[in-house]
């Protein structure tokens, strides 16, 4: 889990577990009368499953999704006994069905081969352990390739005995106008009609906000829990969870025409004051986050003002243009906020040429991590 240092560090990540719990409760209200799960793959999107898991449980989450078997084991250790845990990637080749069953991990089975292995094990052990059936409705990634393939496989293996969830995954739910959303919902509805007794799950964070509200029995939000905007281009309905601040080490003035950073990608158009921040791509910052002469870049907030990153991000350092700040507002030790309360995660990621998901899951190991939790744990959103 998060083995990041607690000693002082120039880069500090603050994780607001109360905001995480609030976000889950808000999504649970949106999902009602369906249930709301919590996707905690990739160490809870980089924020630390050991802290996020219990906070989500206290908020009322009972159904959790990880990507890999190994993550399922970790989640099983961290979460209370009664937690339901699905493994989205399915039945891996290196972990047998018995391993999943032993730890009560429910694979999202997406091929006849996986279904075969699962039902053989069930035949050996008696009553089948629960699992999900995963139908591919457009991602061409995981899941049964068509409803016909799914129906045939289930027919050949007898029944879907033990299956307790029918799921699929959106391709473009963060773009509500994309016609593929409706096409996927139609395919999924046909599958639901074919398996009318199975609880159904289709929506990720953004899927929950589509006009069609395709939540069915169970929603599977991840990103929105952690403060990401599930409705890009419109105001973020979620509370920010993760704040990243990085300290300044040095400042300097450079003349118009001078450049900064590797390969001299950015040229000062005026006499410019630069500040150098103590984090770089080794800490997960996108290498292309800084402006170049060819394109604008991301911004950080220093003393309540937005300041552009300039030049290539280096391994351990990032340069920011602070010319427009009062001279005395900037100096060694002053912190720049990359995202959090005042700077926006999605905005930072977009301007850096990536997405907030990648920024969160890439948060580096050198940052100090502080977890905030004030309110008493409650259960009222369940
Ligand atoms: C990651 C994932 C989710 C969660 O998606 P978000 O966009 O983070 O809400 C849901 N379902 C599946 C299959 C996933 O892989």
The pLDDT tens digits for 179-217 are 999 999 999 999 999 999 999 999 999 999 999 999 999
* Same domain as 252, residue 209: no
Which band of pLDDT confidence, cut at 50, 70 and 90, is reported for residue 157? confident
Q: Give the per-residue pLDDT at 379.
A: 47
For residues 100 and 118, give the distance between their C-alpha atoms in angstroms, rounded to a whole number. Answer: 10
- H helices present in the chain, as ranges: 17-31, 41-45, 49-59, 69-78, 97-102, 112-125, 147-156, 180-194, 205-208, 345-351, 356-361
* CATH number, domain containing residue 316: 2.40.37.10
* Same domain as 307, residue 208: no
Dihedral angle sign, alpha carbons of residues 270, 276, 282, 284: negative
Residue 8 in any domain: the answer is no
The pLDDT tens digits for 346-365 are 999 999 999 999 999 999 99
The answer to whether residue 281 is catalytic is no
Which band of pLDDT confidence, cut at 50, 70 and 90, is reported for residue 162? confident
Which secondary structure element, helix H or strand E, spans residue 201, and what is its range? strand 200-201
Percent of the chain having pLDDT more than 70? 95
* Same domain as 106, residue 38: yes
* Same domain as 333, residue 286: yes
User: What is the C-alpha R_g of the chain?
Assistant: 23
Name the residue at shortest CA distance from atom 3 of ligand 1: 204
* Same domain as 247, residue 214: no
Q: Give the per-residue pLDDT at 52.
A: 98
The b/e string for 140-178 (b: 16+ C-beta within 10 A; e otherwise) is: eebbbeebebbeebbeebeebebbbbbbbbbbbbbebee
Q: In the predicted model, is pLDDT for residue 381 greater than 50?
A: no
Residue 382 in any domain: the answer is no
Residue finishing a domain among 226, 254, 270: 226
Which band of pLDDT confidence, cut at 50, 70 and 90, is reported for residue 382? very low
* CATH number, domain containing residue 114: 3.20.20.10
Q: In the predicted model, is pLDDT for residue 220 greater than 70?
A: yes
Q: In the predicted model, is pLDDT for residue 43 greater than 50?
A: yes
Residue 305 in any domain: the answer is yes
* Same domain as 77, residue 202: yes
Phi, psi of 231, deg, nearest 5: -125, 70
* Same domain as 265, residue 148: no
Phi, psi of 339, deg, nearest 5: -160, 160
In the chain, the number of structural domains is: 2
Which residue in 307, 226, 239 sits closest to 274, CA to CA?
A: 307
Q: Quote the domain boundaries for residue 301.
A: 242-372
Cβ of 169 closer than 6 Å to ligand 1, yes or no, is yes
State both tokens at 20: 């995480």
Which band of pLDDT confidence, cut at 50, 70 and 90, is reported for residue 5? low
Q: Give the per-residue pLDDT at 3.
A: 56
Ligand 1: which atom is nearest the Cα of residue 142?
13
Percent of the chain having pLDDT more than 90? 90
Q: Give the per-residue pLDDT at 126.
A: 74
Average pLDDT over residues 336-340: 98
Cβ of 25 closer than 6 Å to ligand 1, yes or no, is no
Q: Give the per-residue pLDDT at 159.
A: 65
Residue 275 in any domain: the answer is yes
Ligand 1: which atom is nearest the Cα of residue 225?
9
Q: In the predicted model, is pLDDT for residue 278 greater than 90?
A: yes
Residue finishing a domain among 226, 253, 288: 226
Pairing of strands 38-39, 35-36: unpaired
Task: Find residue 252's DSSP bridge partners.
Answer: 274
Residue 236 in any domain: the answer is no
Residue 266 in any domain: the answer is yes
Residue 157 in any domain: the answer is yes
Mean pLDDT across the chain: 94
Residue 67 in any domain: the answer is yes
* Same domain as 190, residue 66: yes
Q: Give the per-residue pLDDT at 27.
A: 98
* Contact status, residue 334 vs residue 307, Cβ threshold 8 Å: no
* Same domain as 335, residue 217: no
Measure 134 CA to ligand 1 centroid, in angstroms. 13
CB neighbourhood size of 259 (10 A): 14
Measure 204 CA to ligand 1 centroid, in angstroms. 5
* Same domain as 151, residue 264: no
* Same domain as 248, residue 357: yes
The answer to whether residue 151 is catalytic is no
pTM, two decimals, is 0.95
Average pLDDT over residues 296-319: 98
* Same domain as 298, residue 178: no
The pLDDT tens digits for 229-255 are 999 999 999 999 999 999 999 999 999
Which band of pLDDT confidence, cut at 50, 70 and 90, is reported for residue 122? confident
Cβ of 88 closer than 6 Å to ligand 1, yes or no, is yes
Residue finishing a domain among 226, 251, 285: 226
Q: In the predicted model, is pLDDT for residue 171 greater than 60?
A: yes
């Amino acid at each position: 889990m998060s083995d990041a240092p607690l000693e002082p560090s120039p880069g500090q990540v603050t994780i607001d577990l109360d905001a995480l719990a609030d976000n889950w409760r808000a999504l649970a209200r949106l999902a009602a009368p369906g249930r709301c799960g919590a996707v905690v793959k990739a160490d809870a999107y980089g924020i630390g499953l050991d802290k996020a898991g219990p906070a989500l449980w206290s908020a009322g989450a009972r159904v959790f999704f990880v990507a890999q078997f190994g993550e399922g084991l970790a989640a099983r250790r961290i979460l209370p006994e009664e937690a339901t845990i699905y493994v989205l990637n399915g039945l891996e080749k290196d972990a047998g069905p018995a391993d999943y069953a032993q730890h009560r991990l429910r694979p999202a089975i997406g091929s006849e081969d996986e279904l075969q292995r699962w039902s053989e094990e069930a035949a050996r052990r008696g009553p089948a352990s629960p699992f999900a059936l995963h139908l591919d409705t457009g991602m061409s990634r995981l899941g049964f390739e068509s409803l016909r393939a799914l129906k045939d496989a289930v027919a050949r293996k007898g029944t879907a005995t033990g299956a307790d969830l029918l799921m699929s995954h959106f391709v473009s739910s963060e773009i509500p106008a994309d016609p593929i959303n409706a096409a996927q919902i139609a395919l999924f509805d046909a599958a639901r009609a074919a398996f009318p007794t199975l609880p159904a799950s289709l929506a990720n964070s953004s899927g929950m906000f589509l006009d069609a509200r395709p939540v069915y029995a169970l929603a599977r939000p991840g990103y929105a829990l952690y403060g990401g905007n599930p409705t890009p281009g419109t105001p973020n309905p979620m509370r920010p969870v993760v704040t990243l601040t990085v300290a300044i080490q040095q400042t300097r003035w450079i003349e118009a025409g001078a450049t900064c950073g590797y390969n001299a990608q950015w040229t000062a158009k005026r006499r410019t004051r630069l500040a150098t921040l103590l984090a770089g791509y080794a800490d997960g910052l996108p290498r292309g986050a800084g402006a170049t002469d060819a394109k604008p870049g991301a911004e950080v907030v220093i003393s309540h003002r937005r300041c552009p990153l300039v030049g290539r991000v280096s391994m351990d350092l990032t340069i920011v243009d602070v010319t427009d700040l009062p001279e005395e507002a900037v100096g060694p030790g002053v912190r720049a906020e990359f995202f959090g309360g005042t700077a926006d995660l999605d905005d930072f990621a977009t301007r850096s040429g990536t997405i907030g998901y990648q920024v969160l899951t890439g948060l580096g190991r050198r940052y100090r991590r502080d977890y905030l939790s004030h309110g008493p744990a409650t259960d009222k959103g369940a």
